[in-house]
Amino acid sequence: MMCEAGSKELRKGRFSSGEVSYFVTICSYKRNYISGITVFEAIRIAFGWLEANSYIKLFCFILMLDHIHAVLQLTGDKNLSEVVSNFKISVVKQLKGKIESSKFWQQGFFDHRIRKDEQFMQVVFYCYNNPYRTGIIDIEEHYQFWYCESGIQKELDKRMDFYRARETEGNSFNPRLRER
């Protein structure tokens, strides 16, 4: 039986567990532009509340133009759907009166259970490089709507040094730059 995207049928049997890391993507309603310092701060506060109440451990998140990516671990008694729902509600409450649209988030979310430690850093690196890969920033620039734990950030900085060196040699890992 085929299910439509966003269908509740797709979520039947979904199981989320603690002690496991998840890569979560949440899109804005109709993929509207949502990036900005006000939204970033609301997201940071919402994740901070979830952490302070022992529902999650947040490793990183990035606010893109019309979606966010987050890498987190469940630590409390809420499942992933409940955590994402609470997150969305918290962000919208903080932005009330600051945004024009009555709908802010697209219904549902996308998630991927990260199964191996080495895959964990690949996913975090994917998030970190998203603004560069999409052409929002140059490789030398720092993206202002990025948050990451300091220990993980140190590992990312080491990886970026490698890629920056490749850039100066003309061996870009950004496909857009390779085509030029």
| pLDDT score of 4 more than 60 | no
Q: What is the pLDDT of residue 171?
A: 63
pLDDT in tens, 143-178: 999 999 988 998 888 888 877 777 766 666 554 444
Residue type, position 127, single letter? C
CB burial string 130-164: b at 16+ within 10 A, e below: bbbeeeeeebeeeeebbbbeeebeeebeeebeebe
Measured CA to CA in angstroms, residue 98 lies from 6, 38, 45, 104, 130 at distances of 28, 8, 15, 12, 27
The mean pLDDT of 98-124, rounded to a whole number, is 88
Strands 110-114 and 146-148: unpaired
pTM of the model: 0.83
The mean pLDDT of 99-116, rounded to a whole number, is 89
pLDDT in tens, 5-64: 555 554 454 567 667 899 999 999 999 999 899 999 999 999 999 999 999 999 999 999
Q: What is the pLDDT of residue 160?
A: 81
Strands laid side by side in the 21-27 sheet: 110-114, 21-27, 67-74, 56-63, 146-148
Does the domain at 20-178 match CATH 3.30.565.10? Answer given as no
Q: Which value, in Å, is the radius of gyration of the alpha carbons in the chain? A: 17
Q: What is the pLDDT of residue 89?
A: 95
